[in-house]
Chain A
Amino acid sequence: MVGGSFKANHMIRIEPSKGWFSLRLNEIWDSRELLMIFVWRDLKVRYRQTVIGALWAILQPLLTMAIFTIFFGRLAGIPSDEIPYSVFTYAALVPWTFFANSIHQASNSLVNNPEMVKKIYFPRLTMPVASVFAGLVDFFLAFVLLLAMMLYYGFVPTLNALWLPFFVVLSVTTALGVSFWLSALNVQFRDVRYMIPFIVQIWLFATPVAYPSSLLSDPWRTIYGINPMVGVVEGFRWSLLGVDTAPAPVIFVSYGVALVLLIGGAIYFRRMERNFADVI
């Protein structure tokens, strides 16, 4: 397939790029094989030389759940929408851990491979995208434990659970959007690398992981959805645990913001991309 199929009529013009909105999405599609290779590499490498390997994917949210349950659930007595605190917080920690790890990995995906950026051409977007996709595997492992906990506490999934993929997609969209911004910024401003732990920490407290969003009353609660992770967490609890909070408006707001983040991030990334090799 090499050689013949491309011949001389296949021409590309290399010139200074103009305009804001050329996302060249066809290029991403063309390099889907490379994307899968990057995902595979991330998965292969992630738990090399660890003793318990992929168990970390489950332990991370599980240990956080234990801490939250002891300090927030027991000692501080934070309400949990009338369901056991541990399931309540774990259902939020599963998508949250995915989100936090994704932006952590993806933001550094370019600056950790400067040689590749400087020496080889490939669509740069594949790197942060691959980091986020690789995180999905951890997400599913942690999710299996969530199902086990639901069984243990006697939660039977209802038809609402069919909406779950909708919220998974929302969390992936948010993670991608934030990752595009941060990874592109990180190339130019290494400050980002040091800011990420704080961003994640503040974002965690700004998201109803340890507490219910029902603490807020209505106009404020919908506005709260500006943080797209609010929509994700609310959606998970509503669809799986049957928390009776009817979060539809929140989720719509979250989806809107997440899409803006994603599209804006992709445009910003594409715009900065042309200088990556010169500044990294």
Chain B
Amino acid sequence: MNDVAIRVKNLGKRYYIGGKRKNSIRLGDKVVDVALTPFRRIKKLIKGDPAGASDLDREFWALNNVSFDIKHGEIIGIIGHNGAGKSTLLKILSRITEPTTGYADVYGRIGSLLEVGTGFHPELTGRENVYLNGSILGMRRTEINRKFDEIVDFAEIEQFIDTPVKHYSSGMYVRLAFSVAAHLEPEILLIDEVLAVGDVDFQKKSLGKMENVSHEGRTVVFVSHNMNALQRLCPQSILFRHGQLISQDKTRRVIEQYLSAMSSETSGPNSIIDLTNQKRDGTGDVMFQSLSYKGNDESLAYYPYTNGPLEVSITLFSKSACSVSSIAIVILDRYGTKLVNADSLTHGNNISLRKGITTLTFQMEQLHLNPGLYTIGLWVANPPIEVYDYIASAAMFEVTETESQKIRVQEDGLVPVKFQVLGIS
């Protein structure tokens, strides 16, 4: 008996990017293109070039020669940067788009969840949308009948089930949508980053539901940027980079590999880290330009150390003179857990920014961080109205240790603490 659930062999997906594409969107271009193509081909043939695919512009392999096996009952995490090929893989496995090369054999009924609420119609009631969405996701009518109460129950919207969903709050909407999807019972489930819906309580509940799914012996392929969720759910993971499979291993190891690849981009203390090309969100009316950080000990080359101070200097560019209430420096651990949130909002004073460049320095007195790698995130906003700029991952930095701290117990606590042992007399 074959225990493989998904076998992927030399799978590749090519897209064409840039100016002139073969599939031009305007009919006029297409007609001209089609009319000229035979002449172009003939010209190439005369010159001795291979005609055909070579006259395409720039090609881009979203997925390149990927092979792996997933066994029945395995819960596999897929990790990688944006554009690493994770979503393309899921789209191919769920048959939304075709691969360019290779193949994937899928043993069993497959269900995919690339987005919650797809196909919901605002004019229809909650009840009607459960049936509509369920059918689109591949459930049979009898199956939906059977699970209907459970779905409504899970979404916590009993009294609104016969209201058109256009009157729902966005929270109710995503809860119902997630709930339908969560009750899908294929043998193989593909999930893309859908746990990030609803409020914190609902997210916990969703994660719990996913954990149950994984105990039912189903095969799950789970794409996420949430390292916590990945660690909780998936014993094994696959790492992708630039469309290629880098490794398939225990999740903890894969995450470390993923993060250490990122941290090769770390800069030491006192150097100016340029932020202008960082991935960010926000209106852009105020934007972080650069950042530098340092500890206070010259003998440690100004590396921040456990229980020592940290100074972070940031420069901001503002399109106009303005006053902001919240500028924050966030420190996250390697699994994405937010450990520190130094937000100017806690002081209650607005900070005035002049038009152009402003420089600010945040002084943190004591870092209760164990030695290791951490990420700095930056945030400037006037909550709750506007978020000007938010960089989830602006820089990585290393916390080191002083000589006297070098003797450490095997298993560190999550947070260090300064303490004394007093004798009892």
User: What residues of chain A have their CB less than 8 Å away from a CB belonging to chain B?
Assistant: 1-3, 6-17, 33-34, 37, 41, 44-45, 48-49, 113, 115-122, 188-192, 274-275, 277-279
Contacts and interface: CB of A to CB of B under 8 A. Distances in A.
B131 interface: yes
B132 A277 contact: no
Given A44-B123, A120-B137, 14 more contacts: A2-B186, A3-B187, A12-B106, A13-B103, A14-B106, A37-B136, A45-B121, A113-B119, A116-B119, A120-B112, A122-B138, A188-B25, A191-B28, A278-B97
B132 A37 contact: yes
Contact of B94 (A115, A121, A189): A121
Contact of A10 (B15, B109, B114): B109
Interface residues of B, number: 54
A279 B132 contact: no
Contacts of A279: 23, 25
A45 B106 CA distance: 36
Contacts of B128: 41, 44
Contacts of B102: 15
Given A2-B185, A115-B118, A119-B118, A16 B98 contact: yes
Contacts of B114: 119-120
A167 B135 CA distance: 32
Contact of A16 (B99, B115, B138): B99
B105 A12 contact: yes
B2 interface: yes
A14 B99 contact: yes
Nearest to B135: A37
B119 A13 contact: no
B124 A45 contact: yes
B72 interface: yes
B422 interface: no
A41 B121 contact: yes
Given A16-B98, A33-B140, A8 B106 contact: no
Contacts of B94: 120-121
Indicate the member of A1, A34, A48, A119 with the most B CB atoms within 10 Å.
A119
Contact of A14 (B15, B23, B72, B93): B93
B356 interface: no
A12 B100 CA distance: 17
Contacts of A122: 136, 138
Nearest to B109: A6
B104 interface: yes
15 contacts: A2-B186, A8-B5, A8-B72, A11-B105, A12-B110, A13-B106, A14-B95, A15-B99, A16-B99, A33-B135, A37-B136, A45-B124, A119-B114, A121-B95, A121-B96
Nearest to B1: A8
B172 interface: no
A20 B418 CA distance: 73
